[in-house]
Structure 1
Amino acid sequence: MGNTFGKIFQISTWGESHGPAVGVSIDGCPAGIAINPDEIQLELDRRRPGQSEITTPRSEEDRVEVLSGVFEGLSTGAPILLMVRNKDARSEAYDHLKDVYRPSHADYTYQAKYGHRDHRGGGRSSARETIGRVAAGAIARRILADAADVEIIAYVRRIHDIEAVIESSKVTRDEVESNPVRCPDQGAAEQMVERTKALRKEGDSAGGIVELVARGLPVGLGEPVFDRLEADLAKAMLSLPATKGFEVGSGFAGTFQTGSAHNDAFYRDGDDLRTRSNNSGGVQGGISNGEDLLCRIAFKPTATINKEQETVSTSGEEATLRAKGRHDPCVLPRAVPIV
């Protein structure tokens, strides 16, 4: 399994949804970085289940434990091991899934590839794996902020067919956190909340789009050809559970424009070279150009729903399934801190 991502700052996540714990090992964090468990916990609290009436009711505190690599509040340069214990798994609620494959889930493909799978909450394919990514991301965010004053903000752009109007260059984290769907457009957010509640009542689900903006990136991040900045970002984002699409800048919408309309004209701003538009999304030739990095990630509707669906059993017999358990009717609000 590919459980490791990164080269300089390398993370390896571990654990399963219904195992004793989940977490991450971080290798490559420089010595002397201030590591505040409260900062890590803040991000985990944004991701944890049971935080509002529109998320899964699974009740987990998700308290982070720092087991190595930190002494007297500073990183030592050794690997950092972070762990979160699972305390409210209720594995018995998944017993009915042991011998059937959930439609559009990882059950069948894991079984076909490995010959053995953990049916309890999806095991390794569960989004609970992302706890390690969020914890490591909190440290990476601190390194970027301290080294180059980089600011990274993600938010919900769309849920189902409700799309927000957001000015990415000005959106603030306080605006994002002002409502349970983490959409800074308050009017759209209210509609998204009501749509999500209705979907839960119907036993159905919906997907949408999370948008991310990184401000203050220096010119020169990324390498040509196979290590392009957007290629590395695409791998990171598309490895998240439930993701189905990734785009930078104008993305697919840029295909409707002509070159003269899409090109980002250069101009001088003191000693800096800037662009008058940002259709490139802050990346040209696979290298950051100093403008805001802007990308969008598409999440599919939650696969596990409380509606009867056709499926096949592990023995090859046709069957029907109405999934039980505790699930998000829409993953977008909790996907924001993961992105």
Structure 2
Amino acid sequence: MLSQPAPSTTTEIHDDATPTDRVGQLALTPLETSAVAVRRAGADSISDEEQIAFEESDMHDLKGSLAGLQPDPRVHLPSQHVLEVLGVMDMPSFLIGRLHPSLGIWKSVRSLRSGSSDQFLGEIEVVTGMPRSLLDVFAEVADQRDKNQQAEDLFWSWRGCVGTFDQCHLWDSWRYAGILDSRRRLRCRYIAASPTMSSSSSGEDHGVNNEAVLCRLIASLDALVRKMDTAGELEPMFLNKGLVFPYTLASLEVPLLRANPLWKSTLTRFRSSFFYNDDIAIVDETVLELLEKAWEADTEFFDIDQAAREKGVELGIF
């Protein structure tokens, strides 16, 4: 199990904040950006060597080519790993209440990869516990938000990766959560454009309805709960870091959860088994507060990002 409480993933946004105070701004200094990465990802995810290398890098042009950074991430793998951490943080799906657009860091980092770096870093990104190929899908989907069906097809066509049974269940939950997230963002955009719009006119046109996708997501989470109940831990243990994202997206499907009480019960068991096991909280309380607000709103159009912005926070959910 986790030996230390997870670091807070909440970033307060103040009206009088300067550009260098705001997460996601290009003006973050190397040290500030590194501190955010360590706080969000967890101290165990980044070694001392990676931290030092990252703080010494010139991080002021994250929007451009990363090949000019020093140490060169193409050959300095610790720098490449920490840039991957930033790339995950930069993806819209994993930050609630985001104020600034994505910089596309993940795709820039992945363009630097080589056979040697893939061999050294492996298939799995250790902060999220996800295959890098699945994170590639999330990054690509972020660039295709206006082409919803094409973006969703990327999730359905993901070929998967070999891992433990627990890993496979978690990876599937992320894939289904990604599909629901893509649809949720589309609904929120449509409702913002036309407040009187109903779900039947929200522009969604999918081969698999939300209920079927959510059913698969809940089934994956249920398998993890059952493993936790019998074995007391997941294999490998670092999978705990990847539990918040699928739980959050499943919890936002309130009308479907009300129509299927057993699914809601599974989420309650999931929360009890993982988020407060051994008195260690791995999810920010503000995320749970926003999900409770979504439950009370009882609508598929609840905009959790706007709710977070109204509270003045940005929240990582990975």
TM-score, length of structure 1 as denominator length: 0.25
Question: Between Structure 1 and Structure 2, which shows a larger proportion of helix residues?
Answer: 2
State which structure, 1 or 2, has the greater radius of gyration over its C-alpha atoms.
1
Higher relative contact order, chain-length normalized (CA < 8 Å, sep 6+): 2
What is the TM-score when the length of structure 2 is the normalising length? Answer: 0.27
More strand, by proportion: 1
